[in-house]
């Protein structure tokens, strides 16, 4: 490689104010952007991301990388060493592959699994005080109402996205060497702007009075835990601050205190939008699959046939370990945020649709 930067530390870098260095991968994403805004006043932040738009916030230096390439990673870590030195307070690893198509993709292995392994390999030459990995609630075996999922609950990922997270967690255990790791199993993300694919699509179906909004092929008393974006940010900030007090390997559930059922979501959303509850009619799974199949033939529908088999799954998380180890507590709840979310929809429907990638 031409113009290769020497591996030794940059003497000029050592003269700069000694703010601790944080590396954030996936730094232009929803969590990465908000996290950088939050921590930039206190830390020197390096935003590692793909080449080109979207870029990390201006508070972070953008280091373009290809997480699937040894050459790219080697060059960029040489540059980081030259500019920032050999010590890294924390690496917050948010970069991963994700889609709702439900089809097998080698990108889960290339980006999420092998990308994390490659990242850990190049970090071995640095003094890294912490590595935080954003995992998912979906790695767990579903529970039932009233039975919270703890960090010791059995794992049973059912599709490629959570399967890639479980595999990556194993890679971290095997390849971290002396780097302390925190694996955050995060619930479904949301904010006042929406930012939750399942929730905003349910809102859209009810808002447009689609027939599919009245039909459901599973137990409506089941549901999933969600968590506000800002509460996730706060959990990461606290984990960074308390990094020297945490075990060498830490697994933490990050989710709201309350888990709403599908019926409760339906009732809150329909009442906020139309002033009354919209009844749900139970339908067989085979009928729902056929309907989803036809919708996706004649258009681009959110609900895919493979999702029908997962509709009965219930994820009710217990985040008491994060509260104990980090002093963290969620300050938001989906029940209280939904009215704010729906107000944004009513005030600016087109903007809400655009920002949440909803098809009209």
Sign of CA dihedral 243, 247, 251, 256: negative
Q: Which two tokens stand for residue 28?
A: 């232009």
For the chain, the domains span 13-190+227-254, 197-224+259-314+332-355
pLDDT, residue 344, reads 97
What pLDDT score does 13 carry? Answer: 47
Question: pLDDT-based confidence at 71, cuts 50/70/90?
Answer: very high
Token reading at 65: 């990388």
- Where does residue 216 fall: left (phi above 0), alpha (psi -120 to 50 degrees), or beta otherwise? beta
Q: How do residues 125-164 score in pLDDT, each as one tens digit? A: 999 999 999 999 999 999 999 999 999 999 999 999 999 9
Question: Over the stretch 281-336, which tens digit does the pLDDT of each residue have?
Answer: 998 888 777 877 777 676 667 777 778 889 999 999 999 999 999 999 999 999 99
- pLDDT, tens only, 152-204: 999 999 999 999 999 999 999 999 999 999 999 999 999 999 999 999 999 99
Percent of the chain with pLDDT over 70: 93
Q: Is 308 exposed, middle or buried (0-12, 13-18, 19+ CB in 10 A)?
A: buried
Q: Note the CATH number of domain 13-190+227-254.
A: 3.40.50.720
Is there a contact between 187 and 317 (Cβ–Cβ < 8 Å)? yes
235: phi then psi, degrees, rounded to nearest 5: -65, -40
Residue 325 sits at φ, ψ, to 5 deg, of -80, -35
How do residues 10-54 score in pLDDT, each as one tens digit? 555 445 557 999 999 999 899 999 999 999 999 999 999 887 777
């Amino acid at each position: 490689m031409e113009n290769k930067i020497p591996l030794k530390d940059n003497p000029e870098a050592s003269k700069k104010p000694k703010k601790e260095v944080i590396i954030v991968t996936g730094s232009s994403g929803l969590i990465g952007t908000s996290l950088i805004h939050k921590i930039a006043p206190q830390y020197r932040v390096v935003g590692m991301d793909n080449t080109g738009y979207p870029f990390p916030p201006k508070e972070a230096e953008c280091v373009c990388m290809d997480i699937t390439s040894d050459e790219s990673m080697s060059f960029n870590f040489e540059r980081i060493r030259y500019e920032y030195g050999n010590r890294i307070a924390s690496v917050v690893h948010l970069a991963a592959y994700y889609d709702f198509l439900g089809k097998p993709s080698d990108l889960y292995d290339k980006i999420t699994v092998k990308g994390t392994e490659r990242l850990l390999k190049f970090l071995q030459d640095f003094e890294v005080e912490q590595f935080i990995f954003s995992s998912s609630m979906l790695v767990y075996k579903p529970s039932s109402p009233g039975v919270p999922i703890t960090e010791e609950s059995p794992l049973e990922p059912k599709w490629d996205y959570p399967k890639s997270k479980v595999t990556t967690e194993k890679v971290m255990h095997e390849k971290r060497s002396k780097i302390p790791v925190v694996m955050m199993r995060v619930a479904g993300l949301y904010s006042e702007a929406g930012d939750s694919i399942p929730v905003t699509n349910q809102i859209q179906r009810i808002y447009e009075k689609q027939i599919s909004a009245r039909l459901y092929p599973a137990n409506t008393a089941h549901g999933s835990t969600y968590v506000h974006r800002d509460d996730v940010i706060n959990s990461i900030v606290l984990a960074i601050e308390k990094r020297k007090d945490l075990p060498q390997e830490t697994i933490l559930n990050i989710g709201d205190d309350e888990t709403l059922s599908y019926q409760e979501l339906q009732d809150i959303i329909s009442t906020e939008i139309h002033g009354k509850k919209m009844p749900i009619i139970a339908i067989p799974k085979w009928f729902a699959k056929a309907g989803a199949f036809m919708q996706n033939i004649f258009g681009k529908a959110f609900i895919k046939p493979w999702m029908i088999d997962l509709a009965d799954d219930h994820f009710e998380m217990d985040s008491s370990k994060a509260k104990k180890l980090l002093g963290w507590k969620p300050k938001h709840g989906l029940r209280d945020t939904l009215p704010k979310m729906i107000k944004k929809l009513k005030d600016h429907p087109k903007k809400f649709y655009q920002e949440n990638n909803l098809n009209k």
